[in-house]
A and B are shown apart, each in its own frame.
Chain A
Amino acid sequence: MKRQIPVLLVFVFGVFMIFQYFSPHEYSEWIYKFLMDWIYIIGIFAMALGIWSLIHVSYDKIKNKRHDWGYSVVTLAALFIMMFFGITGFDENGEWGFYFMTQEGLTNPMFRNFFNHILVPIETTMFSLLAFFISSAAYRAFRARNVLATMLLVSALVVMLRFNPYFGEAVGLYMNKIAAWLLNVPNMAAKRAILIGIGLGMVGTALKVVLGIERGYMGKG
C-alpha cells in the first residue's frame, strides 16, 4: 500500500491534468485552480523546510567549530537580519510595528538599503568577474588545432565583431550578414534539435511517471 497509493495518486492527477489542458469546462477550471493552490501550499512548506535545514546545518557547523564556521555565522546573521527587516516597517501614520500578514516590511528602508547596498554590489561583482575568466579562457581555448576548432574560432570572432563600427559600411554589412547566418541557420538548427530532443524526453519521462514505470520520486528507482 505504501507504494500503490502514491502511484495511484500520480496516475489519477497526471491523467486529469493532461485532459484538463484541453477542457474549458467550468468544473475542470475549478479543480485546476484548486490544485494550483495546493502547489503553492506545498511550496511554502518546502521553503520552510529549506530555511529550517539551512539554520540546522549552519548551527551545527558553528557549534562544532567546523572548517570555515565563520561563514555560517554570516549566513545566519544575514538570514535573520533580512527576515527582521522584511516583517517590520512603518505604517501610514509613521508608527513602527511587526507585519507578518501584510507587506509593509517590503518598503522598510533598511530592507531596501540592505538589498541595494549589500546584495546588489555583491552579485554584480561576482558576475563581473566572469569577464576576466572568459577572457583568460578564450585566450587559452580558442586555438586552431583542427578543422572543427578553427570553425569554432572563426564563428566566435565573426559574432564578436559583427557590430564593430570601425570596419566601415561594406565590411560591416558582410560581417553582420555572416553573423546573422551563423545565428539563424547552424545555431538555430542545433538548438531546434536539442529542444525537440528535450521536449520528447520530457513527454517520455512524464508518461513513465504517470504510468508508474518511473518511481524515482518515491526515493527508490
Chain B
Amino acid sequence: MNQNTNIFNKMMSMDRRWVFLLLIIVCVAAYFAPFSIPILIEPEVERVYNFVDTLAPGSIVFLAIDYDPASLAELHPMTYVLLEQCFRRNIRVICTALHPNGPSMAENAFLEVVDSCKVDKTYHGKQFMGREVVNGIDYCFLGYKPYPALVILGMGTNFRLPFPADYYGRPIDSIPMMKGIQNYDQVACVVNISGTSGTEYWISYGQGRFGFPLALGVTGVMGAEYYPYLNSGQIFGYMAGMLGAAQYEKLAENDGKAVVAMKVQLFAHFLIIFFIIIGNIGFFMDKFSKKREGR
C-alpha cells in the first residue's frame, strides 16, 4: 500500500472522536458567536400562523402537547410562540398532554408564557399591552389520560367524558371558559405538537372522524413522515423540527430559542456535509489509486 492510498484510507475512516470533537466545537462556537441568519418561510408554516392570527378574539385553539423532554429543543419553542400568539390576541386555549411526560412540559410552557404576557410587547407594529393570563378563563389544561386514541374519540363526544376534571382536579363544569364548550365543534382548530406517533391518532381518530382543522408541529426526524397528509388536505399546516419552529418565531416576530438554535444547526449541517465530502473524496481517490495500480 503506497502513501497516497494510506491518506485516502484515513480520509474514509477518520476516528469518530474527531467528528465528535469538531461537532461540539462548531456547535458551541456558533451558539455564542454574535450573528444571526436569515430564516426563509415555508408556506405550510405560514398557513398555521395565518390561521391562528386571523381568528377572532375569544375563539378557542385546542393545543395537544404530546412530547417529552427529549424533544424539548425542537418542540418547546413552537409551543411557546403559539401560546404567546394566542394569549396576546385574546384567543383561548384548551390543552391536553397525551404523552406521560407531556403534562409537566405543558405546565412549564404555560407558566413561562403567562409570565411573558404580563409585559407590553409590539408585534408587527401593533402594541399588545401586558395582561394577566388566567387559568380557567384564558386557558384550560386538561392534563393526561392514557390511550390517546380513546381520549381523542371521547373528546369528540364531550371533553368531560375522558376529562371530568382538569389537570388541577377542578371539575370541568366549574371552569368559566369551559361553560358551553362540549367538544371539537366549539374549537377553531387543533394544533398537535408531537414527538411521538400519537400524531397519527390525531389524524386518523380526530381529524378523520370529526373533521376539525388540524395543524402539526413535529420533530425534524418525523419531518418527512407527514407530507402526505398535507397534500391530501387532512392537515392545513405543518411545522417540522427546529426550522419549523424558527419560521414560526420569525412570522410571529417573536424570536426565541429556535431562531438562535438554527444557526447552530446550520453550521452543524455544514460540518456534516464537509465530512461526507471528505469521505467521498477518499473513497473515489482510493478506488482510482487501486485501479491505477492494477489491483
By a beta-carbon cutoff of 8 Å, the part of chain A in contact with chain B is: 29, 33, 36, 39-40, 43, 47, 102-104, 106-107, 112, 115-116, 119-124, 126-128, 131-132, 134-136, 138-140, 142-145, 153, 157, 160-161, 163-165, 172, 176, 183-184, 187-188, 191-192, 195
**CB <8 Å contact, A106 and B23:** no
**CB <8 Å contact, A103 and B168:** yes
Complex-state Cα separation, A134 to B276, whole angstroms: 12
With CB as the reference atom, state the residue of chain B lying closest to A156. B276
**CB <8 Å contact, B243 and A183:** no
A132 and B20 in contact, given A139-B279, A160-B273 (Cβ under 8 angstroms): yes
**CB <8 Å contact, B40 and A29:** no
**CB <8 Å contact, A40 and B147:** yes
Say how far A181's CB is from chain B's closest CB, in angstroms: 11
**CB <8 Å contact, A139 and B14:** yes
**CB <8 Å contact, B40 and A43:** no
Cβ-neighbour of B276 out of A29, A39, A153, A192 (below 8 A): A153
A131 and B279 in contact, given A124-B73, A191-B225 (Cβ under 8 angstroms): no
**What are 10 pairs between A and B in contact, CB < 8 Å?**
A39-B150, A106-B103, A107-B168, A115-B101, A119-B69, A145-B283, A157-B273, A160-B269, A163-B243, A164-B266
Q: Which residues of B contact A142 (CB under 8 A)?
A: 276, 279-280
**Interface SS of A by simple majority:** helix
**CB <8 Å contact, B23 and A138:** no
A183 and B227 in contact, given A29-B157, A120-B69, A136-B19 (Cβ under 8 angstroms): yes
Q: Which residues of A contact B101 (CB under 8 A)?
A: 115, 119, 123
Say how far A201's CB is from chain B's closest CB, in angstroms: 14
- With A36-B161, A131-B27, A132-B24 given, can you name 7 additional A-B contacts, CB distance below 8 Å? A124-B73, A126-B70, A131-B23, A132-B19, A144-B280, A160-B272, A187-B224
A120 and B72 in contact, given A136-B16, A187-B227 (Cβ under 8 angstroms): yes
Say how far B150's CB is from chain A's closest CB, in angstroms: 6
Say how far A142's CB is from chain B's closest CB, in angstroms: 5
Which residues of B in the span 156-204 have a Cβ within 8 Å of any Cβ on A? 157, 161-162, 165, 167-169
**CB <8 Å contact, B228 and A195:** yes
Q: Which residues of A contact B28 (CB under 8 A)?
A: none
With CB as the reference atom, state the residue of chain A lying closest to B27. A131
Complex-state Cα separation, A109 to B225, whole angstroms: 38
Say how far A87's CB is from chain B's closest CB, in angstroms: 13
Q: For the complex, is B260 an interface residue (Cβ under 8 Å from A)?
A: no
**Interface SS of B by simple majority:** helix
Complex-state Cα separation, A33 to B266, whole angstroms: 49
Cβ-neighbour of B38 out of A29, A136, A160, A165 (below 8 A): A165
Cβ-neighbour of B40 out of A47, A172, A191 (below 8 A): A172
**CB <8 Å contact, A124 and B273:** no
Say how far A62's CB is from chain B's closest CB, in angstroms: 25
Say how far B66's CB is from chain A's closest CB, in angstroms: 15
Q: For the complex, is B58 an interface residue (Cβ under 8 Å from A)?
A: no
**CB <8 Å contact, A191 and B227:** yes
With CB as the reference atom, state the residue of chain A lying closest to B287. A145
**CB <8 Å contact, B272 and A135:** yes
Q: Which 6 A-B pairs have the closest CB atoms?
A: A103-B169, A123-B69, A127-B70, A139-B275, A120-B69, A136-B16
Encoded as 1 (CB less than 8 Å from any A CB) or 0, chain B from 135 to 158 comes to 000000000011100100110010
Complex-state Cα separation, A183 to B231, whole angstroms: 11
**CB <8 Å contact, A106 and B167:** yes
Say how far A125's CB is from chain B's closest CB, in angstroms: 9
Cβ-neighbour of A103 out of B161, B167, B231 (below 8 A): B167
Complex-state Cα separation, A134 to B69, whole angstroms: 19
Q: Which residues of A contact B146 (CB under 8 A)?
A: 40, 43, 47
A135 and B271 in contact, given A104-B169, A172-B40, A188-B228 (Cβ under 8 angstroms): yes
Which residues of B in the span 2-22 have a Cβ within 8 Å of any Cβ on A? 13-14, 16, 19-20
Complex-state Cα separation, A160 to B265, whole angstroms: 10
A132 and B104 in contact, given A33-B157, A138-B275, A160-B273 (Cβ under 8 angstroms): no
**CB <8 Å contact, A36 and B266:** no
Q: Which residues of B contact A122 (CB under 8 A)?
A: 69
Q: Which residues of A contact B165 (CB under 8 A)?
A: 103
**CB <8 Å contact, B147 and A43:** yes
Q: Which residues of A contact B280 (CB under 8 A)?
A: 142-144, 153
Say how far B18's CB is from chain A's closest CB, in angstroms: 10
Q: For the complex, is B109 an interface residue (Cβ under 8 Å from A)?
A: no
Complex-state Cα separation, A145 to B283, whole angstroms: 9
